[in-house]
């Protein structure tokens, strides 16, 4: 057992505050990017609308209900056509626009490079605010990492032995996963969401769950703490990403439906966000990884429970909720393979699953009596 | 089983599956309905059964049952549960007289063994079996049959491309197909070449492991359930408190509390023994917030596999159980046991030994109950508190300032009379019922309470005897568990995860290649790919195969022919990264 180093603990808290501050600036930059890019995209859309049907350009300022010529079948407007046509479905799903629509959308839309497309790969155009935001997020993550490491040194063990540590470390993993995904995919449109959630996690940790550095109670002194909880943190971080994507998916699909029905596009900032279908596909892939992680969390938890309490499953409140989360996400995976349950319903399942994760961490830890209670505050 | 399925499912087809599942628990209705259905002429009972079976095993029903299972599990975390905490449930019903009993009749204190919870998971598993078995048969057939016929129009497939082999390369259409077949075989495809005259083609398929993984995953879940059931039938568990120096022998009388499984036989118990030699606790003296909290428990024990076996020294810790005679022994609790000697009114020792003090508050503030049925002429009873480090506030309230024995103190009230033990009715050893007893010492009496430090003796008033506080020992609470289903549950769980990973990350794909000779001598090649289920890397696979074919025939990557993709924009085809 390593000795406690309180000075390191104080450094850690300072780093956490600095990280939260940096993230806040990054959050503003991400929001600025959303606003600026969507204005640029709107301008492009309007121009395209004017080009395709000049006669309707008079009211294009309000909405863009352009007949859009050949593309009319799949998507009623140019605005939707750009996203809808450009993207494309998952292999094996029927709603796949023909390649001709895609080509046309690219030709008329022109701004395809700016928005994250179906594959969410990076486009050619530079988005200065987004670059600033990502740079700030990296800086914040570096400070955050220092906070997590000093916390670990201060307490002489893995930094996830209580709720404060779980939240701060979990928030770091969420940012790290987001940044790692950013290397390959342009998910910068998710920035406000992810960084916003991370700020909330850090603030909640510092305000509601603050705990000084300390030793672990004997029940937590096991290598299973390292295995079981680290996988739980990682899975939760992934679920955080998919929660953000599913929430955006719901908004986007609502927007797409409104536009397709000829309604006004009141959610202009969503232009930067890929189509609902692309969001659904990517969040499905991330959820699949997270589900495997959660299965391991459940299993390793059961193995640890057998070691510590003598039974691998006893319907302890925490076990119940871990099981509920597992079942909800299992339902989500099945929903994706069930007709009538894809799209919006699946997104709701993903959101419900994440709410269960949050509930499991906050309410169950604090207000439900159970064997996991000691891991709390 | 069929009766049950029938009862829930033999309803008009218009009803959605949602209306069926939960209404399972009424056997009388089931019987009536079964009779009514038997009289139906049109479909007949067999037809109805088949229809019910189809409904139950449909994906929508399975999904619905799955979500219902999640919802049904929740009440178990909201209300106290009997298996975990029977006394809390009794108290809860007492505290909530208005709805406590109603909840009980709905089995909300036994959620996980309740009729409704069982109904949901049994239906879910029947549905699962009904889904897995036909799929396994179908998959076995698919694995043995040839890859499917080449579609007429490959260009309709989600991934499609063409290649042109120049005439001077000297590769006729039939050779091109053979080349492609060899390449695909190397890539793990099962290939069938079809030399259909002018337009030879091939069909190829891979990724049969995906469905195997899927089936293994679902079958393993059944295995986990069966393992849990086996554990419940043949397992047992029990608790025992051991004071330093005590020995536990694994027989029924050795347990303080024993919970046998349904099929438990007492002959299952191997008469091993375990003696607690010493129990040590390390307290946190470093951090401010948690000063005085225990950070290490170590129990030194001596074990014997059998009465005649050699003794073995072992260490029992939290998270490090001792395994003995097919059981595991866990350290689950601890506390102090003050050692007392009670002499009765006649001056004889009526009781001597450690008394287990029950933890009540911070720093091992514990309650003590001493019952002395052997005291003569009157039975004696004591109730009070033990404080390892006694402090008294200005208001006269005692508390324990530290978990270690810095200033140990016993403060007791005493009683005499009939303890009620002679009637044979079981009593809680940690509670003293003072209803029929006469108080001797109490704070509100002139005699005041008894306060004892180690080594001191107090003589009871009215010549009823005396009590001495001889010293303090530590005790541990151990749980003893035997679960024969545990290992198989672990194996099935691991199998399930393996199956899950395979089913999510192996992709079932089909490739077709068709070749033909152009009038000018060039060999024209077209290929198409199709995935079964979601496959976001199909475009990458198409590009990889295209690259392989180009290298095989020495074609320029930017030469004639198109790598068109119907499923995703060209930009997403990243064969090197994705693979």
pLDDT digits (tens, 9 = 90+) for A297-342: 999 999 999 998 888 998 888 899 999 999 999 999 999 877 778 8
What pLDDT sits at residue B169? Answer: 85
B319 and A341: CB-CB below 8 Å?
no
Most confident among A59-63, A136-140, B129-133 (mean pLDDT): A136-140
Give the pLDDT band (50/70/90) at residue A296. Answer: very high
Q: Do the Cβ atoms of B86 and B94 come closer than 8 Å?
A: no
What is the C-alpha to C-alpha distance for residues A45 and A180, in angstroms, rounded to an integer?
32
What is the C-alpha to C-alpha distance for residues A82 and A68, in angstroms, rounded to an integer?
11
Using the Cβ of A368 and the Cβ atoms of chain B, whether some distance falls under 8 Å is answered with yes
Residue from the list B63, B83, B536 with its beta carbon closest to the beta carbon of A338: B63
Give the pLDDT band (50/70/90) at residue B544. Answer: very high
Using the Cβ of A89 and the Cβ atoms of chain B, whether some distance falls under 8 Å is answered with yes
Interface of A with B in 337-366 (CB under 8 A): 337-341, 349, 364
What is the C-alpha to C-alpha distance for residues A250 and A254, in angstroms, rounded to an integer?
6
Alpha-carbon torsion angle B327, B332, B336, B342, nearest 10: -50
3-state secondary structure B522-547: CEEEEEEEEEECCCCCHHHHHHHHHH
Q: Which of B534, B542, B575, B579 would best serve as a mutation to test chain A binding (most A beta carbons within 10 A)?
A: B534
Residue from the list B81, B535, B568 with its beta carbon closest to the beta carbon of A88: B568
> Does the structure show a pLDDT above 70 at A74?
no
Q: For the residues A39-62, what does the mean pLDDT come to?
A: 63
| Beta bridge partner(s), residue B201 | B194, B514
Chain A to chain B, count of Cβ pairs less than 8 Å apart?
189
Q: Do the Cβ atoms of B163 and B550 come closer than 8 Å?
A: yes
Percent of chain A with pLDDT over 90: 44
Displacement of CA B321 from its chain's centroid (Å): 19
The structure tokens listed for B210 are 């995906």
User: In chain A, what residues touch B77 (CB-CB under 8 Å)?
Assistant: 317, 320-321, 364, 368, 370
What is the C-alpha to C-alpha distance for residues B476 and B359, in angstroms, rounded to an integer?
12
Q: Do the Cβ atoms of B328 and B480 come closer than 8 Å?
A: yes
What pLDDT sits at residue A113? Answer: 34
The structure tokens listed for B488 are 């198989």
Using the Cβ of B512 and the Cβ atoms of chain A, whether some distance falls under 8 Å is answered with no
Using the Cβ of A117 and the Cβ atoms of chain B, whether some distance falls under 8 Å is answered with yes
The structure tokens listed for A118 are 């179906």
Which of B263-277, B403-417, B553-567 is the least confident region? B553-567
Neighbours of B475 (CB within 10 A): 21
Q: Do the Cβ atoms of B573 and B541 come closer than 8 Å?
A: no
Residue from the list B318, B531, B572 with its beta carbon closest to the beta carbon of A219: B318
Give the pLDDT band (50/70/90) at residue B212. Answer: very high
Percent of chain B with pLDDT over 70: 90
pLDDT digits (tens, 9 = 90+) for B199-208: 899 999 999 9
Neighbours of A158 (CB within 10 A): 17
What is the C-alpha to C-alpha distance for residues B26 and B30, in angstroms, rounded to an integer?
6
> Does the structure show a pLDDT above 50 at A71?
no
Residue in the block written with tokens 């309709």: B156
Give the pLDDT band (50/70/90) at residue B565. Answer: low
> Does the structure show a pLDDT above 90 at B220?
yes
pLDDT digits (tens, 9 = 90+) for A160-218: 888 899 899 999 999 999 999 899 888 888 899 899 999 999 999 999 888 888 888 88
| Beta bridge partner(s), residue B478 | B240, B331
What pLDDT sits at residue B573? Answer: 32
What pLDDT sits at residue A373? Answer: 58
3-state secondary structure B265-282: CHHHCCCCEEEEEEEEEE
Q: For the residues B449-463, what does the mean pLDDT come to?
A: 91
What pLDDT sits at residue A12? Answer: 94
Give the pLDDT band (50/70/90) at residue B53. Answer: confident
> Does the structure show a pLDDT above 80 at A123?
no
What pLDDT sits at residue B326? Answer: 87
Displacement of CA B10 from its chain's centroid (Å): 34
What pLDDT sits at residue B345? Answer: 83
What is the C-alpha to C-alpha distance for residues A335 and A213, in angstroms, rounded to an integer?
44
Measured in angstroms, the CA of A169 and the nearest CA of chain B are apart by 21
pLDDT digits (tens, 9 = 90+) for B298-333: 999 999 999 888 999 999 999 999 999 889 999 989
Displacement of CA A165 from its chain's centroid (Å): 21
Pairing of strands B322-324, B257-260: unpaired
B479 and A327: CB-CB below 8 Å?
no
> Does the structure show a pLDDT above 70 at A109?
no
Whether ipTM tops 0.85, in short, is: no
* Pick from B559, B578, B519, B577: nearest CA to B162: B559
What pLDDT sits at residue A140? Answer: 97
> Does the structure show a pLDDT above 50 at B449?
yes
What is the C-alpha to C-alpha distance for residues B405 and B407, in angstroms, rounded to an integer?
6
Q: Is the peptide bond before B142 cis (omega within 30 degrees of 0)?
A: no
User: In chain A, what residues touch B568 (CB-CB under 8 Å)?
Assistant: 88-89, 91, 118-119
Give the pLDDT band (50/70/90) at residue B12. Answer: very low
What pLDDT sits at residue B21? Answer: 36
What pLDDT sits at residue A124? Answer: 67
> Does the structure show a pLDDT above 70 at B30?
no
What is the C-alpha to C-alpha distance for residues A194 and A176, in angstroms, rounded to an integer?
11
Give the pLDDT band (50/70/90) at residue A119. Answer: low
Residues contacting A360, CB < 8 A, separation 6+: A318, A321, A322, A324, A325
Using the Cβ of A331 and the Cβ atoms of chain B, whether some distance falls under 8 Å is answered with yes
What is the C-alpha to C-alpha distance for residues B50 and B57, in angstroms, rounded to an integer?
10
pTM value surpassing 0.90: no
Residue in the block written with tokens 């159970």: A370
pLDDT digits (tens, 9 = 90+) for B384-396: 999 999 988 888 7
**Is the torsion defined by CA of B118, B119, B123, B126 positive or negative?**
positive
Q: What is the DSSP code string of B338-394?
A: EEEEEE-TTS-EEEEEE-PPEE-SGGG-EEEEEEETT-SSSEEEEEEEEESBEEE-T
pLDDT digits (tens, 9 = 90+) for B139-156: 999 999 988 889 989 989
What pLDDT sits at residue A99? Answer: 33
> Does the structure show a pLDDT above 50 at A82?
no
What pLDDT sits at residue B321? Answer: 94
Give the pLDDT band (50/70/90) at residue B6. Answer: very low
Q: Do the Cβ atoms of A120 and A241 come closer than 8 Å?
A: no
What is the C-alpha to C-alpha distance for residues A56 and A78, in angstroms, rounded to an integer?
12
Helix axes A276-309, A344-361, angle to 10 degrees: 30
* Pick from B57, B64, B188, B68: nearest CA to B131: B57
Neighbours of B230 (CB within 10 A): 18
| Chain A residue nearest residue B59, CA to CA | A338
A309 and B533: CB-CB below 8 Å?
no
What pLDDT sits at residue A79? Answer: 36
What is the C-alpha to C-alpha distance for residues B281 and B278, in angstroms, rounded to an integer?
10
Q: Do the Cβ atoms of A164 and B289 come closer than 8 Å?
A: no
Average pLDDT, chain B: 85
What pLDDT sits at residue B445? Answer: 84
> Does the structure show a pLDDT above 60 at B548?
yes
Strand order of the sheet with strand B190-194? B159-165, B523-532, B508-517, B201-206, B190-194
Q: Do the Cβ atoms of B15 and B23 come closer than 8 Å?
A: no
What is the C-alpha to C-alpha distance for residues B63 and A341, in angstroms, rounded to an integer?
9
What pLDDT sits at residue B242? Answer: 95
Using the Cβ of B500 and the Cβ atoms of chain A, whether some distance falls under 8 Å is answered with yes
How many Cα atoms within 13 Å fall on the side-chain side of residue A64? 27
> Does the structure show a pLDDT above 50 at A92?
no
B318 and A218: CB-CB below 8 Å?
yes
Residue from the list A92, A295, A307 with its beta carbon closest to the beta carbon of B319: A307
Residues contacting A234, CB < 8 A, separation 6+: A173, A177, A293
> Does the structure show a pLDDT above 80 at A369?
no
What pLDDT sits at residue B118? Answer: 93
Q: Do the Cβ atoms of B30 and B7 come closer than 8 Å?
A: yes
Measured in angstroms, the CA of B568 and the nearest CA of chain A are apart by 5
Residue from the list A88, A313, A316 with its beta carbon closest to the beta carbon of B567: A88
B59 and A364: CB-CB below 8 Å?
no
Displacement of CA B325 from its chain's centroid (Å): 24
The structure tokens listed for B127 are 């549905």
What pLDDT sits at residue A75? Answer: 35
What is the C-alpha to C-alpha distance for residues B76 and A316, in angstroms, rounded to an integer?
9
Give the pLDDT band (50/70/90) at residue B576. Answer: very low
Average pLDDT, chain A: 79
* Pick from A270, A266, A363: nearest CA to A318: A363
A295 and B500: CB-CB below 8 Å?
yes
> Does the structure show a pLDDT above 60 at B17?
no
Residue from the list A3, A92, A334 with its beta carbon closest to the beta carbon of B535: A92
Most confident among A136-150, A185-199, A350-364, B32-46 (mean pLDDT): A136-150
Percent of chain A with pLDDT over 70: 79
> Does the structure show a pLDDT above 60 at B20?
no
Which of A282-286, B48-52, B108-112 is the least confident region? B48-52
Which of A157-161, B5-9, B303-307 is the least confident region? B5-9
> Does the structure show a pLDDT above 60 at B19?
no
Give the pLDDT band (50/70/90) at residue B50. Answer: confident
The structure tokens listed for B410 are 């016993």
A330 and B66: CB-CB below 8 Å?
yes
| Beta bridge partner(s), residue B412 | B384, B450
Radius of gyration of chain A (CA): 23
């Amino acid at each position: 057992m390593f000795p406690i180093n309180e000075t390191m603990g104080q450094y850690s808290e300072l780093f956490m505050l600095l990280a939260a501050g940096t993230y806040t600036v990054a959050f503003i930059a991400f929001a600025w990017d959303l606003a600026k890019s969507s204005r640029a995209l709107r301008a492009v859309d309007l121009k395209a609308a004017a080009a395709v049907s000049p006669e309707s350009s008079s009211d294009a300022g309000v909405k863009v209900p352009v007949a859009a010529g050949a593309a009319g079948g799949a998507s009623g407007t140019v605005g939707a056509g750009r996203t809808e046509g450009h993207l494309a479905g998952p292999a094996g799903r029927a709603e796949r626009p023909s390649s001709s629509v895609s080509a046309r959308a690219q030709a008329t839309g022109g701004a395809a490079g700016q928005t994250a497309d179906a594959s969410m790969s990076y486009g050619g155009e530079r988005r200065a605010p987004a670059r600033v935001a990502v740079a700030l997020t990296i800086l914040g993550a570096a400070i955050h990492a220092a906070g997590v490491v000093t916390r670990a040194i201060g307490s002489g063990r893995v930094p996830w032995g209580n709720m404060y540590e779980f939240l701060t470390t979990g928030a770091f993993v969420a940012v790290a996963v987001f940044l790692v995904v950013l290397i390959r995919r342009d998910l910068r449109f998710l920035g406000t969401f992810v960084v916003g959630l991370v700020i909330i996690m850090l603030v909640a940790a510092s305000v509601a769950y603050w705990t000084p550095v300390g030793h672990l109670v004997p029940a937590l002194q096991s290598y299973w703490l390292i295995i079981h909880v680290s996988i739980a943190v990682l899975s939760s971080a992934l679920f955080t990403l998919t929660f953000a994507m599913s929430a955006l998916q719901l908004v986007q699909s609502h927007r797409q439906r409104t536009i397709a029905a000829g309604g006004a596009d009141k959610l202009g900032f969503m232009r930067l966000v890929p189509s609902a279908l692309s969001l659904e596909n990517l969040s499905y892939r991330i959820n699949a990884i997270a589900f495997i992680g959660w299965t391991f969390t459940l299993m390793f938890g059961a193995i640890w429970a057998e070691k510590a309490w003598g039974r691998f499953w006893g319907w302890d409140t925490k076990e119940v909720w871990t099981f509920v989360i597992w079942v909800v996400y299992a339902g989500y995976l099945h929903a994706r393979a069930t007709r009538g349950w894809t799209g919006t319903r699946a997104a709701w399942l993903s959101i419900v699953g994440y709410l269960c994760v949050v509930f499991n961490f906050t309410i169950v830890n604090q207000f439900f009596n159970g064997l996991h209670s000691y891991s709390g505050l | 089983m069929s009766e049950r399925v029938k009862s829930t499912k033999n309803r008009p087809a218009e009803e959605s599956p949602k209306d069926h599942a939960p209404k399972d628990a009424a056997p009388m209705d089931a019987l009536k309905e079964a009779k009514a259905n038997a009289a139906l002429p049109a479909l007949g009972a067999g037809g109805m059964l088949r229809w019910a079976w189809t409904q139950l095993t449909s994906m929508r029903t399975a999904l619905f049952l799955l979500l219902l299972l999640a919802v049904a599990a929740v009440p178990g975390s909201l209300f106290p549960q009997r298996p975990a905490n029977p006394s809390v449930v009794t108290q809860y019903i007492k505290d909530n007289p208005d709805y406590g009993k109603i909840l009980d009749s709905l089995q909300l204190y036994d959620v996980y063994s309740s009729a409704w919870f069982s109904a949901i998971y049994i239906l879910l598993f029947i549905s699962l079996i009904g889904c897995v078995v036909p799929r396994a048969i179908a998959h076995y057939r698919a694995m043995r049959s040839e890859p499917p016929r080449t579609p007429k129009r490959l260009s309709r497939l989600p991934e499609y491309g063409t290649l042109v082999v120049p005439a001077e390369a000297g590769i006729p259409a039939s050779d091109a197909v053979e080349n492609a077949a060899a390449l695909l075989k190397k890539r793990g495809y099962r290939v069938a070449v079809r030399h259909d005259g002018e337009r030879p083609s091939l069909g190829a398929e891979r990724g049969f492991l995906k469905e195997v993984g899927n089936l293994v995953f679902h079958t393993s879940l059944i295995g986990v359930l069966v393992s849990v059931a086996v554990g419940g039938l043949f397992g047992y568990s029990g608790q025992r408190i051991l004071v330093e120096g005590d020995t536990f022998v694994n027989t029924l009388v050795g347990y303080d509390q024993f919970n046998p499984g349904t099929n438990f036989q007492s002959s299952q118990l191997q008469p091993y023994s375990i003696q607690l030699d010493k129990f040590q606790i390390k307290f946190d003296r470093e951090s401010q917030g948690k000063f005085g909290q225990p950070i290490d428990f170590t129990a030194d024990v001596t074990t014997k596999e059998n009465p005649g076996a050699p003794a073995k020294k072992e260490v029992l810790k939290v998270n490090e159980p001792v395994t003995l005679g097919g059981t595991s022994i866990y350290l689950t609790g601890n506390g102090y046991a003050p050692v007392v000697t009670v002499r009765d009114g006649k001056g004889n020792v009526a009781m001597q030994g450690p008394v287990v003090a029950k933890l009540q508050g911070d720093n091992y503030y514990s309650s003590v109950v001493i019952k002395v049925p052997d005291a003569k002429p009157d039975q004696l009873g004591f109730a009070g508190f033990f404080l390892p480090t006694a402090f008294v506030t200005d208001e006269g309230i005692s508390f324990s300032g530290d978990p270690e024995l810095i200033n140990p103190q016993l403060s007791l009230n005493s009683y005499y009379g009939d303890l009620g033990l002679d009637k044979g009715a079981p009593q809680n050893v940690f509670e003293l019922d003072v209803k029929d007893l006469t108080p001797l010492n109490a704070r509100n009496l002139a005699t005041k309470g008894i306060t004892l430090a180690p080594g001191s003796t107090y003589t009871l008033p009215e010549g009823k005897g005396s009590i001495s506080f001889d010293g303090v020992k530590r005790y541990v609470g151990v749980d003893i568990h035997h679960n024969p289903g545990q290992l198989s549950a672990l194996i099935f769980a691991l199998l399930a995860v393996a199956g899950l990973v395979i089913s999510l990350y192996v992709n079932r794909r089909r490739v077709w290649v068709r070749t033909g000779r152009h009038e000018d001598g060039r060999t024209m090649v077209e290929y198409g790919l199709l995935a079964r289920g979601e496959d976001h890397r199909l475009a990458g696979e198409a590009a990889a195969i295209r690259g392989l074919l180009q290298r095989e025939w020495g074609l320029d990557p930017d030469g004639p022919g198109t790598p068109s993709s119907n499923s995703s924009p060209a930009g997403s085809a990243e064969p090197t990264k994705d693979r």
